[in-house]
Structure 1
């Protein structure tokens, strides 16, 4: 005969019931405070919109600068990958020897591909670029040497410099021309811009904390009597702090959405002029977009700053609110 499982002790069932009841009460209070704080913001739409707009303006500038630097980083990687070496051969090297030197260079380790430009081809390109075909055609001897354009397998500046030093030692090579200074300048500018963007982000983040903190401080002062009453009957600081934290989060959410909207509208507004400017230089360029991850990050950081500003303001002023 099978035995029936023993029922748990009555005290354990009572403890679990009370814990579950407290948890449901905690959730109900959070839901009620979230709805109540949102309703208080809706009852003062102008003041709420002004606060959210101040948060949005504080977030737009560092976010826009960071997007610009991100596009510069992508451009820098494209330019680095397109870096080439120009190997100028000695004047005494004829076309057959130049072809053999090109084959030797192409077979070297670290070389992705090569392209031979004979002296005649170099002169033709030079005449076409300057529009001086008649004047240069009167020269008795072509002063330009043959050259080989080398694309390195590793576009890193250190690797390219090492490859250039190796190619200069090849027999028949007169000079290897390498110009990475402008790429390095672009990288230094991008690094400077990233640090400026980080500093601006910290400064404007502090501005968001001040804006939200001042708004919540005024809300605490307006509800001082209510806070004194609930504190007098035994409410904890966490209970009193909760509606103000939700207010700060709502401010942050509204400010983050406004900042996202301003960035999107600004990108659409500037897209056509930027594309036309890039086309005039024979290039294609489009303004960077936030994307899903960037949008969530922007709004999430705004909510976090709003919540943190409210927490600092309420914690500071709760210590000053004493029941009378």
Structure 2
């Protein structure tokens, strides 16, 4: 068989190493996956509350729309497999104010969240060649792939995007329902010329949703926060990320008045396709499910609490697959 030269211009595209097969733009989902926890079932009286969350995320697998490795066909029987490692450390300060004002039976409030992100991305692209493929051509193609992978690697530290979430909080002796209408502003450190950015892009996200929590006398507690994210177009790239549902959940057992243990996690599914240059036929629709153990503590007076959890991801589509770990501190300011 005679192999035709693989065009350099084609290889030197993001699609050539599978980077087009990712959820939303540059895999920036603009969602603090797994952040809410045991506080979803705890009542909040009027006042100012502070939270400081520390997240570590690490992934070494990259899934396509079928849940397999991201592989791109380069022609002539040649393909490229995306690999590497993503490591992110995120510090998340959050303030929540519950007012004395009411809307019906619910108290009005607002929360503001501003993540600080340290992101390190190492990308690899490994060429796969058929039997008999000329070694000189294979070496040349692999060298080009290495260059593209290096251009899409790097480290950045900076501010993420700010979420402002007004809400109405309805509570009774056993349950809690919070209706919220969040807005995420493009305040993060972002440059379209960079491959790695703490900010998701120059676009806004409208995020309506609700939180529901319930505690039973037998010690079981369940809480969930569900939002639906609607993104505007990134004015820096003319790319529009699709819309997605994001749900965090917590199923805990109250061991005593201070300690809780159980299962927590998150689910995200993208329902509309991305729009922009290089979007795959499936629209880069994202999906991820995570579940793992959690342990929480709250003080006897209810003025502060802490929580730790480790959440492995699975059933991943068009996204990196890894593990999210959280160490969280919650306290009343006034």
Shorter-chain TM band = under 0.3
Question: As a proportion of its length, which structure holds more strand?
Answer: 2
Q: TM-score, normalised by structure 2?
A: 0.23
Q: TM-score, normalised by structure 1?
A: 0.23
Question: As a proportion of its length, which structure holds more helix?
Answer: 1
Q: Greater relative contact order: 1 or 2 (C-alpha under 8 angstroms, separation 6 or more)?
A: 1
